């Protein structure tokens, strides 16, 4: 795919402090049956916002509010405990942080964690689909797909964008059924035949929000 899957911790969590926090919190997220999509830190000091974006690793169910609330409470407890441990080990951490750059930042104690504003949410409905797992989570939904300029799946006119319903996710790509726009206002769109699109032919894909859908 043109948008590379975020398969490594370095790609998913920007910066050494975010990586260290992810290592601290990911076991708690996984224990709740969820997958940590993103962890970001914004602001500074007491205005720091710690944002966790989580989702189910597989299936098409949505994460409910009770699950998010339970996870938020569990994460807060982990942060409180880590802050206490960090305060006790601050002298050792200061010694390990000698030097400059990313290594020094990574060695800094996780201080003042209890002052962070914690936000736990799920990915937005129109977030880019960048991993096969993202496509599996949205099986049956309508997608907006932009094809790469050199993709052989482009039509004879060179059109590189299509709206299609995701029917199946296979190892090397997706099976979709294209929705052909109505030629005139008031007419219903038509459905084309199912087609296979390899992941490497997809430049960009997003879910198209539908107000109603009947098969």
For residues 160 and 154, is the Cβ–Cβ distance under 8 A? Answer: yes
* pLDDT for residue 121: 95
Please give the span between the terminal C-alpha atoms of the chain, in angstroms, as a whole number. 29
* pLDDT for residue 141: 93
* pLDDT for residue 158: 52
- Whole-number Cα distances in Å, 191 to 156, 158, 176, 180: 18, 20, 10, 6
* pLDDT for residue 100: 47
For residues 179 and 189, is the Cβ–Cβ distance under 8 A? Answer: yes
* pLDDT for residue 104: 45
The H-assigned helical ranges of the chain are 9-12, 16-31, 65-88, 90-96, 102-107, 132-137
Closest-CA residue to 162 (of 202, 112, 212, 117) = 202
For residues 143 and 128, is the Cβ–Cβ distance under 8 A? Answer: no
* pLDDT for residue 42: 85
pTM score of the predicted model: 0.69
Burial track 23-46 (b if 16+ CB lie within 10 A, e otherwise): ebbbebbeeeebebbbbebeeeee
Closest-CA residue to 32 (of 55, 6, 48) = 55
* pLDDT for residue 112: 62
> Helices 16-31 and 65-88: crossing angle, nearest 10°?
130
Q: Can you give 161-195 as a three-state secondary structure string?
A: EEEEEEEEECCCEEEEEEEECCCCCCCCCEEEEEE
* pLDDT for residue 116: 81
Each residue's pLDDT expressed in tens, for the chain with a length of 215 residues: 444 343 344 467 878 888 889 999 999 999 999 999 999 988 776 778 899 999 999 888 889 999 999 999 999 999 888 877 766 555 554 554 454 444 444 444 465 666 788 999 999 878 899 889 999 999 999 999 999 888 877 664 556 788 999 999 998 999 999 998 777 787 888 888 899 999 999 999 999 988 665 55
């Amino acid at each position: 795919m043109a948008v590379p899957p975020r398969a490594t911790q370095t790609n998913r969590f920007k910066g050494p402090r975010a990586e260290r926090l992810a290592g601290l919190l990911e076991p708690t997220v996984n224990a709740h049956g969820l997958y940590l999509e993103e962890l970001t830190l914004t602001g500074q000091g007491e205005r720091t916002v710690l944002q966790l974006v989580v989702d189910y690793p597989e299936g098409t169910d949505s994460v409910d509010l009770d699950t998010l609330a339970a996870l938020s409470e569990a994460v807060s407890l982990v942060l409180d405990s880590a802050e206490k441990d960090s305060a006790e080990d601050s002298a050792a951490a200061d010694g390990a942080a000698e030097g400059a750059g990313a290594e020094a930042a990574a060695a800094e104690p996780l201080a003042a964690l209890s002052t962070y504003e914690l936000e736990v949410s799920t990915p937005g409905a129109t977030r880019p689909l960048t991993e096969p797992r993202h496509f599996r989570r949205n099986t049956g939904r309508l997608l907006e797909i932009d094809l790469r300029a050199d993709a052989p799946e482009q039509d004879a006119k060179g059109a590189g964008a299509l709206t299609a319903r995701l029917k199946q996710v296979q190892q090397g790509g997706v099976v979709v059924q294209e929705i052909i726009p109505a030629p005139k206002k008031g007419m219903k769109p038509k459905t084309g035949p199912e087609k296979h699109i390899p992941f490497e032919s997809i430049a960009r894909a997003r879910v198209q929000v539908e107000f109603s859908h009947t098969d």
